[in-house]
Amino acid sequence: MPTTVPPIPQERLPALLAAMPKAELHIHIEGSLEPELIFQLAQRNGVAIPYASVEELRRAYAFTNLQSFLDIYYAGASVLLQAQDFYDMAWAYLQRAAADHVVRAEIFFDPQTHTARGVAMETVVEGLSRACRDAKALGVDAELILCFLRHLSEEEAFETLEQALPFRDRFIGVGLDSSEVGHPPEKFARVFDACRRHGLHLVAHAGEEGPPAYVWSALDVLKVERIDHGVQSPKDPALMKRLAQDRIPLTVCPLSNLKLCVFPSLELHNLRVLLDAGLAATVNSDDPAYFGGYMNENFLQTFAATGLDAQHAYRLARNSFEGSFAEPAARRRYIEQLDAAFASA
């Protein structure tokens, strides 16, 4: 492992950011549904949507907080009905990921958004997992993580787990997403206990809009292996110490934080604070169709705005592989590819 990255002129940094291999650990596949595909699927499935055109829909993407986004995001997902729809959505994302040199993608999906509309769990999982399998041909190792919607009940989460267990071999873990404030992680303590007993990896959104206390309970009650977002953590020095000491990966999503008004500007994003405190932060796209950028756009815009350098770039990409749920041999292979990209930069 190179402990220091050779100095790389600032003008060569954008090309390196784009070309370096990386893992995406925080992408909601329903958030990769571009307006063009929403319209195409609406027509294919005879679903009415309350927007006259792609442009009108895009104009509605002006968010003030997480909830204002989620309302539109769940409406957009209503066009997904058949396994082929889920395949087409995931395949479009995977092609974009491959173009951004994402070699490993751990993809969230929200089954309750679909089962509530009468779409079978099997339909969702079949389409998504087929796309993940086919992604090998693109050079992307893709796996699925099932997310529970935290604004719904514990009972509904247990029902969802029951529906998903026949497909246990098609997803590697579970997560927790949707409206954060008012729905603390501990609401799902028993669900996550059950998931752990099934050998699933555990992650949870915490500290996106919610307080540091939610990050603590995701760690200590749910016993998650990664925190999704976690950008509110610097408000609690003791939490920062814990995250650094245990090298807990934080899947940070800068353009998402900007579009959902978590930070007033990208210049004021705290990614550098997290890295400088020794946290295992990573860069991710969250819901790229809604937030204006896939992986490389997140790297490029954040580095341009905050003045991060090649050392940070290496650290972020390396954290993404070390924080991934890939097999150790695959992780070592990714890191060798990363080292080669920096050696030839």
Q: Does 226 bind ligand ADE (CB under 6 A)?
A: no
Phi, psi dihedral angles at 337 (to 5 degrees): -65, -40
Sole binder of ligand ADE in the list 142, 287, 314, 319 (CB under 6 A): 287
Question: Which of Zn ion, ligand ADE, none does residue 31 bind (CB under 5 to 8 Å by kind)?
Answer: ligand ADE
Task: Please report how close the Cβ of residue 175 comes to Zn ion at its closest, in angstroms.
Answer: 8
CA–CA separation, 235 and 251 (whole Å): 17
Least spacing, CB of residue 4 vs ligand ADE, in Å: 34
What is the three-class DSSP state of 103? strand
Q: In 3D, which of 83, 99, 68, 86 has the Cα closest to residue 29?
A: 86
Residue 284 near residue 26, CB atoms below 8 Å: yes
Q: Provide, rounded to whole angstroms, the least separation between the CB of residue 208 and ligand ADE.
A: 5
| Distance, CA of 32 to CA of 42 (rounded, Å) | 16
Question: Quick count: other Cβ atoms within 10 Å of Cβ 241?
Answer: 12
Q: Closer CB to ligand ADE, residue 205 or residue 312?
A: 205
Chain residues that interact with Zn ion, rule: CB under 5 A = 286
For tokens 């935290």, name the residue.
150
- What does the per-residue mask of binding to ligand ADE show for 190-209, with x meaning CB under 6 A? ---------------x--x-
147 backbone dihedrals φ, ψ, rounded to 5°: -105, 135
User: Counting contacts by CB under 6 A, is residue 183 touching ligand ADE?
Assistant: no
Q: How far is the CB of 109 from ligand ADE (least distance, A)?
A: 10
User: Judged by CB under 6 A, does residue 31 bind ligand ADE?
Assistant: yes
| Euclidean distance between CA atoms 170 and 144, whole angstroms | 7
Position with the least CB separation from Zn ion: 286
- Phi first, then psi, for residue 32 (nearest 5°) are -100, 5
Residue labelled with tokens 């829909």: 57
Minimum distance, C-beta of residue 284 to ligand ADE, in the bound complex (Å): 10
Which residue number, 28 or 331, has a Cβ lying nearer to ligand ADE?
28
**Which residue in this structure is represented by tokens 């769990």?**
121
Residue nearest to ligand ADE (CB): 177
- Binder among 28, 96, 101, 170 for ligand ADE (CB under 6 A): 28
Please tell me whether residue 177 binds ligand ADE under the rule CB under 6 A.
yes
Residue 211 DSSP code: -
**Exposed / middle / buried, residue 253 (Cβ in 10 Å: 0-12, 13-18, 19+):** buried
Report if residue 293 touches ligand ADE, rule: CB under 6 A.
Answer: no
Closest CA to 115 of 165, 71, 148, 160: 160
Q: Answer with the entry of ligand ADE, Zn ion, none that 183 interacts with (C-beta below 5 to 8 A by kind).
A: none
Cα angle value 37/139/343 (rounded, 5°): 125
The residues that are catalytic are: 208
Confirm or reject binding of residue 32 to ligand ADE (CB under 6 A).
Answer: no
Residue 209 CA to residue 266 CA, distance in Å, equals 16
Q: How far is the CB of 143 from ligand ADE (least distance, A)?
A: 18
Question: Considering the rule CB under 6 A, would residue 256 count as an interface residue with ligand ADE?
Answer: yes
- Residues of this chain that interact with ligand ADE (CB under 6 A) are 28, 31, 66, 73, 177-178, 205, 208, 256, 286-287
